[in-house]
């Protein structure tokens, strides 16, 4: 009986001790907030711009600069200056005995008619080019203020150095003496070059033996013993005939 009463007392004491205790708490972890999305400044990539290629036959009135004109010095010490003005192409040669050519490199032609309206000071020559080939050479038709015209075969000896072989040279009353102011034409057709001044044929030249069959077209400017010399091309026209 005493043992029974002792067990009841222990049980009552255990319950009394637990009554003063708080219920166990469950630990909760605080998760970090997700990072805010990164904000980046977008990189602007311009759309590619395509330079329009001219038609096979065209007229360039020089209202704006063109990537299709390439200028090369073929002789002389000074550095020529080229300016695409509003409606004109100006070439200034600052020193004497300077030769300079401009090539339109969009197309190569076999038979082609090149025309230009050009004015220049009286101390040099201006002209047109056809069948330009870097390896083989080119035909160049020039006039000057003394009434003289010539056809030359130009060929590169080294970068910036060319030799010119005379093909024909003479005078024409179609060429104004004094300051140059004329419309020039060079028709390269088969084995012949037809030379025009102010829409008049002044000569046909047989070039069978020179072996040039195709190439770029272009313009030419040269100073003689006096300088500076300036030439202005109002327009250049390339056509089939």
In a domain, 1, yes or no: no
pLDDT for the residue numbered 48: 47
In a domain, 8, yes or no: no
Is the model's pTM score more than 0.85? no
Q: Convert the pLDDT of each residue in 204-229 to its tens digit.
A: 999 999 999 999 999 999 999 888 99
Q: How far is CA 101 from CA 104, 140, 187, in A?
A: 10, 10, 18
User: CATH number for the domain including 139?
Assistant: 2.60.120.560
Q: Which domain holds residue 163?
A: 58-239
In a domain, 158, yes or no: yes
In a domain, 80, yes or no: yes
Q: Convert the pLDDT of each residue in 108-130 to its tens digit.
A: 999 999 999 999 988 899 999 99
pLDDT for the residue numbered 51: 66
In a domain, 39, yes or no: no
Beta strands, E only, 27-147: 58-60, 69-75, 81-85, 88-93, 99-109, 112-120, 124-133, 137-144
Number of domains in the chain: 1
pLDDT for the residue numbered 225: 87
Residues of the chain with pLDDT > 90: what percent?
Answer: 66
In a domain, 11, yes or no: no
């Amino acid at each position: 009986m005493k043992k029974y009463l002792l067990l009841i007392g222990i049980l009552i004491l255990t319950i009394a001790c637990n009554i003063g205790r708080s219920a166990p708490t469950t630990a909760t972890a605080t998760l970090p907030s997700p990072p805010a999305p990164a904000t980046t400044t977008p990189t602007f990539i311009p759309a590619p711009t395509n330079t329009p290629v001219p038609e096979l036959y065209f007229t360039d009135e020089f209202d704006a600069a063109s990537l299709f004109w390439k200028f090369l010095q073929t002789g002389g010490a000074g550095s020529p200056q080229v300016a695409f003005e509003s409606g004109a192409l100006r070439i200034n040669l600052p020193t004497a005995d300077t030769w300079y050519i401009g090539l339109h490199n969009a197309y190569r032609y076999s038979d082609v008619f090149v025309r230009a309206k050009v004015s220049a000071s009286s101390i040099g020559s201006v002209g047109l080019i056809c069948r330009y080939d870097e390896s083989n050479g080119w035909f160049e038709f020039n006039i000057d203020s003394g009434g003289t015209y010539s056809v030359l075969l130009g060929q590169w000896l080294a970068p910036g150095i060319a030799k010119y072989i005379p093909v024909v040279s003479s005078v024409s009353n179609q060429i104004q003496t004094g300051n140059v102011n004329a419309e020039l034409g060079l028709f390269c057709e088969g084995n012949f070059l037809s030379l025009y001044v102010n829409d008049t044929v002044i000569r046909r030249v047989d070039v069978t033996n020179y072996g040039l069959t195709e190439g770029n077209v272009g313009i030419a400017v040269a100073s003689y013993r006096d300088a500076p010399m300036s030439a202005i091309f109002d327009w250049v026209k390339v056509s089939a005939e």
